[in-house]
Structure 1
């Protein structure tokens, strides 16, 4: 039987609105600009429309960020983290040497990782299971941050039954990993 992991909490309505809003905000901006153009003129209507779009986007982004942080904490309490993994000893340029985003369930010293398909997609693909976790500590971020890693993520080097593994995740994920790795080899 194939291993399964818990499903992540679904994105909230503000998170969905932020990722899906680009087209309808642009369309709404064009409509507002054309309505205001007759009374204000071309350039003032464009400036006011851009200001309204930026203000709307900032408000929605702020609501989405708070919603996302609450979702991440909820998932971490359930033992589920959003992360990216890679195999540091893989051949350079191979697919295994690249970062792969997904979700990992950390429970009883075992990491079950399932890759993520798309930004808002759900985890898909085969679950990879890593056990016998031992911490090697935190690694420095590369000079050029890979696109798969989010800004606030840190990278932890972990020894597993299948070889060395690098896991990049946020603070909640790091504390969860630290709680399930062998404490004799070093903290995160």
Structure 2
């Protein structure tokens, strides 16, 4: 069921809206409201919920297309083997700029992806090919639906990266790509 939901998010949202509408009609009519009043009251709230989902998904698509035009992706990172209380369990949101064998991560906040803090460049030595489903605890920090994660081994530490499956594939293609030889004097 979860796989179908992740493959068909719009169909799932439509079903949820229909169920919420039916439950709303039943609940309101059981509390003494007329059937017509219950019908239109629950319809109003279903429309509000549907519009909020629509505008959220439209914003996410627009952000993804703007970042893609610059060769970037929206991603979250964390350092799984760092000390407790640091970024071991908290995902840091930002923009990942991809280059062969490297990722530059710029922390960002808000829906406008306003930069916060300094950018960090990771030289990737290895990467897991398998996309990992995010757990319930991870969902507290990652608000976007459908995100998965991979682990990158860098020069300094392991870094976990969460993004959409398409963005993770771009990251894997970039970091596994053959590196250009560095200039020597």
TM-score, with structure 2 as normaliser: 0.63
Count of aligned pairs between the two proteins = 143
Q: CA RMSD in A?
A: 2.9
For residue 148 of structure 1, what is the aligned residue in structure 2? 141
Is 1:115 matched up with 2:107? yes
User: Which segments of 5 or more consecutive residues in structure 2 lack a partner in the other structure?
Assistant: 1-32, 179-185
Change beyond 3 A, Cα 1:47–1:168? same
Work out the CA distance in 1 between the residues paired with 2:59 and 2:172.
Answer: 25
Is 1:176 matched up with 2:165? no
Work out the CA distance in 1 between the residues paired with 2:88 and 2:119.
Answer: 18
For residue 83 of structure 1, what is the aligned residue in structure 2? 75
For residues 11-160 of structure 1, the aligned pairs below 5 Å read 48-59=40-51, 61-62=53-54, 64-66=56-58, 68-91=60-83, 93-98=84-89, 99-138=91-130, 140-141=132-133, 143-146=135-138, 147-149=140-142, 150-160=144-154
User: Which segments of 5 or more consecutive residues in structure 1 lack a partner in the other structure?
Assistant: 1-41
1:118-165 per-position Cα deviation (integer Å, ceiling 9, x unaligned): 355523211111113421233533542411223311111111122211
After the TM superposition, which segments of 4 or more aligned residues of structure 1 sit over 3 Å from their partners?
42-47, 118-121, 139-143
SS at match of 2:75: strand
Work out the CA distance in 2 between the residues paired with 1:49 and 1:129.
Answer: 52
